[in-house]
Amino acid sequence: MAKFTDYNLRPEIIQALEQIHFNEPTEVQARLIPVVLQGRSVVGQSQTGSGKTHTFLIPIFQKFQADNQNVQAIITTPSRELAQQIFNAAKQLATTFADGQAPRIGLYIGGTDKNRQLQQLKTQQPQLVIGTPGRIKDLYEANAALDIHTATALVVDEADMTLDMGFLNEVDTIASALPSNLQMMVFSATIPQKLQPFLRKYLTNPVIEEIPTATVISPTIENILVGTKGQTKDELVYSLLTMGTPYMALVFTNSKARAKALAKYLRTRGLKIAEIHGDIQPRERKRTMAAIQNLDYQYVVATDLAARGIDIPGVSLIINDGIPTELEFFVHRVGRTGRNGQPGTAITIYNPDEEDRVAAVEHMGITFKPMTLTKSGELKDGYDRRRREQRNKSTVKLDPTMIGMVKKKKKKVKPGYKRQIKSAIARDARYKKRVEERASLRANRKAKKKASNK
């Protein structure tokens, strides 16, 4: 097993990693840190929570030159919350450096005071830039207030999310302003086809590593599937939230409108709810996140932006208000609990018309435990919704007429209908057998006649 001490890192970096109990690199770190330290461009494909942040931060800090006052590296990420997380991780790495030896780190995200940032940039440039693509681009295009052309390393974090949120053009503008000897590091949970042209434009013979996950989700997570069975999802979510005492519960919805409607309903039932979605203004979202971190809220309703964009510690319960529109978000949602070996529960609610989507999630390697919510508000073992498919089926193949009869009889149920259907099937089988026997006799007669004529 590799250790961080194997990479000949600065003592300050080793000390900072020990402070947060990072002794052994994760798989993505073990594969890519040595390559990045050699100056190679890389594409790292691995899931959220695999350790990508330190995979690029450690080499950036290792190569940092304190006497170079210019921008040396840029890290773009599609959401403010992700940028803040990377900024916090970078600040922690910097704590063990002597005064004046750690990089000046600039955080540039939407929702902050742009004019103030412009004034600060007139007097001093950051050495490490972390931010959202739109704000970094704006500061660069404001008469080059943020002078990025000196950077020799560019990290594009969560590239697929960057593409989905429409920020790839901004990243393209940033990358095109950087020197030709640029080292680019692209990290992403998935590599969509639409991302390929961008990668080909800026990456020449990169090292590509796809890190498989040992398990699709953490084995410490109990993954439960609950059908609505006549209940509304609003009622079911409320019952699941209140049947126990979760330390922190996170409810995911597929749209902003649904998040707002569900949060409103839960408030009418007396729950104190925090909302995290795109319609929450930046300052309000920042205040909400601070309140969540301060444990002022026990229940959070969020869209999929939160699945990739925020890190809420201590989440013990995840509720999926339906199957996510993009199936890969299922893993990101569920991955908000059961972290660092801690137990967690993820409950997915589904309607009968979502059977195909449930099956698609199972095809990804997810194993559900079917359960039902009793009238007394307790979860009990449910039946396997696929049980009908797993029964032995009749070997008698019905013709379209018989199939129609079976369907018709099932719709209009009368006493003895099962016996009637069985009799009809038997008659059909006998008829087909007689037809086959006659055909066989005719074939034999023809064969004998042909033989006698020779």
Structure-token pair, residue 255: 């749209």
Residue 452 is predicted with a pLDDT of 67
Residue 263 is predicted with a pLDDT of 95
Whether this model's pTM surpasses 0.75: no
**Bridge partners, 184 (sequence order):** 154
Structure-token pair, residue 355: 């059977």
**Bridge partners, 186 (sequence order):** 43, 156
Own/partner pairs, 384-392, CB within 8 angstroms, 24+ separation:
385/225, 385/227, 385/355, 385/358
Would you call 105 helix, strand, or coil by DSSP?
strand
The distance between the two most distant Cα atoms of the chain, rounded to a whole number of Å, is 111
The per-residue pLDDT string of the chain (454 residues; one tens digit each, 9 = 90 and over) reads 678 989 999 999 999 999 888 888 988 899 999 999 999 999 998 766 678 899 999 999 999 999 999 999 999 998 888 898 899 999 999 999 998 899 999 999 988 889 999 999 999 999 999 999 999 999 999 988 999 999 999 999 989 888 878 899 999 999 999 998 899 999 987 888 889 999 999 988 899 988 865 556 778 889 999 998 878 999 999 999 998 888 899 999 988 899 999 999 999 999 999 998 878 887 888 888 888 888 899 999 998 866 566 677 788 999 999 888 777 678 878 888 887 677 889 999 998 888 888 888 887 778 899 998 888 778 888 776 555 444 444 444 555 555 555 455 444 455 555 566 666 667 777 777 777 777 777 777 777 766 666 5
Residue 136 is predicted with a pLDDT of 96
Residue type, 412: K
Per DSSP bridges, beta strands 183-188 and 153-156 are parallel
What whole-number distance in Å separates Cα of residue 112 and Cα of residue 281? 11
Q: Using CA of residue 57, residue 61, residue 64, residue 69, what is the dihedral sign?
A: positive
Q: Measuring CA to CA, how many Å separate 24 from each of 1, 5, 299, 440?
A: 7, 9, 34, 74
What whole-number distance in Å separates Cα of residue 424 and Cα of residue 406? 9
What whole-number distance in Å separates Cα of residue 78 and Cα of residue 110? 11
List the 105-108 sheet strands across, edge first.
105-108, 128-131, 73-76, 153-156, 183-188, 42-45, 207-210
Q: Which of 32, 27, 69, 31 is nearest to 50 (CA)?
A: 27
Residue type, 73: A
Give, as one character, the DSSP assignment of residue 194.
Answer: G
What whole-number distance in Å separates Cα of residue 135 and Cα of residue 174? 11
Residue 26 is predicted with a pLDDT of 86
Q: Measuring CA to CA, how many Å separate 110 from each of 73, 83, 144?
A: 20, 10, 18
**Bridge partners, 45 (sequence order):** 188, 210
Structure-token pair, residue 140: 């660069």
Residue 98 is predicted with a pLDDT of 93
What whole-number distance in Å separates Cα of residue 213 and Cα of residue 207? 19
Residue 395 is predicted with a pLDDT of 45
Domains, the chain, ranges and CATH? 4-210 (3.40.50.300), 221-381 (3.40.50.300)
Would you call 347 helix, strand, or coil by DSSP?
strand
Would you call 200 helix, strand, or coil by DSSP?
helix
- The residue count of the chain comes to 454
Q: Which residues of 64-95 are buried (b: 16+ CB within 10 A; e: fewer)?
A: beeeeeebbbbbbbbbbbbbbbbbebbeebbe
What whole-number distance in Å separates Cα of residue 42 and Cα of residue 220? 31
What whole-number distance in Å separates Cα of residue 221 and Cα of residue 445? 70
Residue type, 307: A
What whole-number distance in Å separates Cα of residue 5 and Cα of residue 13? 10
Cβ atoms of 203 and 41 within 8 Å: the answer is: yes
What whole-number distance in Å separates Cα of residue 320 and Cα of residue 334? 8
Residue 338 is predicted with a pLDDT of 80
Q: Give residue for tokens 């209140």.
A: 242
Which residues 6+ apart lie within 8 Å of 45 measured at CB?
Answer: 187, 188, 189, 190, 191, 208, 209, 210, 211
Residue 310 is predicted with a pLDDT of 66
What whole-number distance in Å separates Cα of residue 394 and Cα of residue 171? 59
Rg of the chain over all Cα atoms, to the nearest angstrom: 30
Structure-token pair, residue 148: 């990025």
Cβ atoms of 135 and 110 within 8 Å: the answer is: yes
